[in-house]
Amino acid sequence: MQDDTNQGDNQLNEEIKQLTELQVIDLQIAKFDAEINAQKAELIKREKSFNERQALIEELKEKIEAAETQRREIEAQLADELSRIKERQSKMMQVQTNREYQSLLKEIEDGKKSIKEKEEEIVRIMEAGEANAKIMAEQENLIKEEKKALAEESTQFKKHAGEIEGKKAKIVAKRDAMAKDIKTSALRKYDMLRTRRNGKAVVSVVNGICQGCFMSIPPQQFNDILKGDRILNCPTCQRILYHQPESDKE
pLDDT at 248 (0 to 100) = 54
d(CA 58, CA 139): 10
What single-letter DSSP state applies at residue 96?
Answer: -
CB of 77 closer than 8 Å to CB of 116: no
- Which pLDDT score is estimated for 228? 78
Report how far Cα 49 is from the mean position of its chain's Cα atoms: 10
Q: Reduce the DSSP state of residue 205 to 3 states and report it.
A: strand
What gap in Å lies between CA 116 and CA 236, rounded to an integer?
A: 82
Which of 199, 198, 69, 39 lies closest to 129, judged by CA?
Answer: 69
Cα distance between residue 153 and residue 147, in whole Å: 10
pLDDT of residue 1: 36
- The DSSP bridge partners found for residue 202 are 240
Confidence of residue 7 (pLDDT cuts 50, 70, 90): very low
> According to DSSP H, which parts of the chain are helical?
2-92, 98-179, 184-196, 219-227
Compute the distance between CA of residue 44 and CA of residue 190 in angstroms, rounded to an integer. Answer: 34
Assigned CATH topology for domain 25-181: Helix Hairpins (1.10.287)
Kindly state the helix (H) or strand (E) to which residue 204 belongs, with its residue range: strand 202-206
Cβ atoms 229, 8 nearer than 8 A:
yes
Instruction: Please provide the DSSP assignment of 30-74 as one string.
Output: HHHHHHHHHHHHHHHHHHHHHHHHHHHHHHHHHHHHHHHHHHHHH
> What tens digit of pLDDT does each residue of 23-73 get?
999 999 999 999 999 999 999 999 999 999 999 999 999 999 999 999 999
Asked if residue 210 lies in contact with residue 234, where contact means CB atoms within 8 angstroms, the answer is yes
Reported as a single tens digit per residue, the pLDDT across 114-138 is 999 999 999 999 999 999 999 999 9
**Quick one: how far is CA 143 from the chain centroid?**
19
Interatomic CA distance for residues 214 and 210, integer angstroms? 5
Cα distance between residue 67 and residue 131, in whole Å: 12
pLDDT per position as a tens digit, 183-213:
999 999 999 999 999 999 999 999 999 999 9
Kindly report the pTM of this predicted structure. Answer: 0.69
- The mean pLDDT of the chain is 90
Q: How far apart are CA 172 and CA 29, in angstroms?
A: 7
Domain with CATH 1.10.287.1490 in the chain: 25-181
pLDDT at 2 over 50: no
Out of 127-131, 147-151, 228-232, pick the least confident. Answer: 228-232
**pLDDT over 80 at 247, yes or no:** no
